[in-house]
Amino acid sequence: MGLLDSVLGAVLNNGQQQQPQGGGLGGLGGGLGGIIGMLASNPQLIQVVTGMLSNNGEHGGLGGLTDKFQQAGLGDVLGSWIGGGQNQPISGDQLTNVLGSDALGGIAAKLGLDPSDAAGQLAQVLPGLVDHLTPNGQAPASGLGDSSDLFGMLGGFLQK
């Protein structure tokens, strides 16, 4: 738990020092500061997101999410998060459609939220986070790594 504790500590400390600019939840408009603020308000979100994006996670990592987005007809949305252009927004309802209501119910239980609130928070955080984890505009062929790799990347972002 040492790595998780250090990432959570960095999130909480940076979240207190750097308030998201532009108001609101900031996942879409506040850049990395907004993401940090959202993660600081619900640290369990870090575990959920790393579970979604890590190669050893329950959703098959970024590759598995890409497949789910494509099957739901939203591959271009996820592609915009990875690519170098403007991130397309996603609604909580669209995200529920991508992940499935059962999977989202499990995520909501982990977050201690109702499914629509969980979907809304993920919809705010995922675009910017995927964008920052794929800085070269491409998904790495081997994915984003396992959860410890992702915690390391998140810790690096949070130290900046």
- Of 12 and 144, the one with more pLDDT: 144
Burial (0-12, 13-18, 19+ Cβ within 10 Å), 67: middle
Query: Which tokens sit at 80?
Result: 């915009």
CB 36 within 8 A of CB 11: yes
**Residue 6: pLDDT over 70:** no
Cα(21)–Cα(18) distance, integer angstroms? 8
- Out of 9-18, 63-72, 132-141, the most confident range is 63-72
Query: Does the model's pTM come out above 0.85?
Result: no
Average model confidence (pLDDT) for the chain? 75
List all residues 6 or more positions away from 49 whose beta carbon is below 8 Å from its beta carbon: 122, 125, 126, 129
pLDDT band at 140 (very low <50, low <70, confident <90, very high): confident
CB 69 within 8 A of CB 126: no
Query: Which tokens sit at 36?
Result: 């940090």
> What does the pLDDT read at residue 90?
96
Domains along the chain with CATH numbers: 43-159 (1.10.10.690)
pLDDT band at 18 (very low <50, low <70, confident <90, very high): very low
**Residue 84: pLDDT over 50:** yes
Distance (Å) of CA 84 to CA 8, 79, 89, 139, 142:
28, 9, 15, 11, 19
> What does the pLDDT read at residue 39?
63
